[in-house]
Structure 1
Amino acid sequence: MVVSFLEISLVKLKLYSLHGIQEYWIVNWQLKTLEIYRRTDAQLQLVATLLEGDTLTSPLLPSFSTAIAQIFL
């Protein structure tokens, strides 16, 4: 049985959502994207899909920012 990257990420998303994690990022190296999930009500919801030209920020890390392109160097 082969488990895909997407399947693993979705299992983690459900687990993290159940345990109260406030924010979860899924980095897709093949598509060069970063999905941001944030807690809305009682579960993590997709709030953005960032591309290479975008900048990652988080309300949980106010002084943090990085260019998505830097992640894929």
Structure 2
Amino acid sequence: MKYQMKVTGMHCQGCSNLIKMSLEDANIITVLIDVKTGTAQFESDQDKPHVEKILSDVFTDLGTYRFSNVEQLV
């Protein structure tokens, strides 16, 4: 399933790379992050509640960044 979310706290490509690697380590795949728009798209075989739990854990570990508005794309 494809998802999209907002990400705040990113300032550069380095921020994007750190988030991308952290998500991939948590088995979130095909991560595409746009620093300018503050959005990320990704794929997961998990349903939305499980994805939100994974995201919560990842972003808690990262500390500086926040996610919101997780939407499943059709």
* TM, length-normalised to structure 2: 0.32
Instruction: Specify which structure has the higher proportion of helix.
Output: 2
Q: Which one has a bigger Cα radius of gyration?
A: 1
Instruction: Specify which structure has the higher proportion of strand.
Output: 1
Which gives a bigger RCO, structure 1 or 2 (Cα 8 Å, sep 6+)?
A: 2
* TM, length-normalised to structure 1: 0.33
